[in-house]
Chains A and B, each alone.
Chain A
Amino acid sequence: KNEVEQSPQNLTAQEGEFITINCSYSVGISALHWLQQHPGGGIVSLFMLSSGKKKHGRLIATINIQEKHSSLHITASHPRDSAVYICAVRDYGQNFVFGPGTRLSVLP
């Protein structure tokens, strides 16, 4: 069992739809990161969370430490949101463990 799992693996949505990507982890963590990797390969850090909820524009990230689960929500999705979304956790040993990524395609 991987330490960080994501679902779904692939997701296709229509423009304007509300999108949820899930991340579950099995280790104790000091922080959880959501990253966005564009088709060209560049990586952008979207959120760093240790508790609760954060919002940035149309993106919302939540984390439930007790359930070892985080969600990334995209409201009013747009084709430019098409990317791979990666969940990563930092464990207490200061190591980063990455999920396999969720490939999102938003169609116009």
Chain B
Amino acid sequence: DSGVTQTPKHLITATGQRVTLRCSPRSGDLSVYWYQQSLDQGLQFLIQYYNGEERAKGNILERFSAQQFPDLHSELNLSSLELGDSALYFCASSPAVNQPQHFGDGTRLSIL
């Protein structure tokens, strides 16, 4: 058990919809990372937060947004969903900015 909790584990929705994925970091970790893993593009870095502030941005689409709340949990919002957004979404956390990360089990998003 990594200590990182992601909910829900599975999500099935339709094109055009909006969903929210939630991540609770390991106790004491201030930094949260979001990643997308699709069959055709592998793992991609989306965004990183540190203590509530955006720290780094990767290949995150404009339809996607994220935030980290004062209690350090984070949410990834995906809107105007397309078939190509079907993927595994991982959250990871680390104590500070550039330290080894602990990964959650992922949320599997399926767009029908």
Q: Taking beta carbons and an 8 Å cutoff, which residues of A are in contact with B?
A: 30-31, 33, 41-45, 47-48, 86, 88, 90, 93-98, 100-101
Contact = CB atoms under 8 A, between A and B. Distances in A.
Interface in B89-112: 90, 92, 98-103, 105-106
B42 A100 contact: yes
B103 to A, nearest CB: 4
A96 B58 contact: yes
Interface of B: 2, 33, 35, 42-45, 48, 55-58, 88, 90, 92, 98-103, 105-106
Contacts of A43: 90, 92, 103, 106
Contacts of B100: 33, 45, 47-48
Nearest to B33: A96
Contacts of A96: 33, 35, 45, 58
By secondary structure, the B interface counts as strand
Contacts of A45: 92, 100-103
A49 to B, nearest CB: 10
A47 B48 CA distance: 19
By secondary structure, the A interface counts as strand
Nearest to B48: A94
A41 B58 contact: no
A41 B45 contact: no
A41 B106 contact: yes
Given A43-B92, A96-B35, A97-B45, 6 more contacts: A33-B100, A41-B88, A41-B106, A44-B103, A45-B100, A101-B42
B35 to A, nearest CB: 8
Nearest to B56: A94
A31 B98 CA distance: 8
B105 A42 contact: yes
Nearest to B101: A45
Contacts of A44: 2, 103
A98 B103 contact: no
Given A42-B103, A45-B103, A98 B98 contact: no
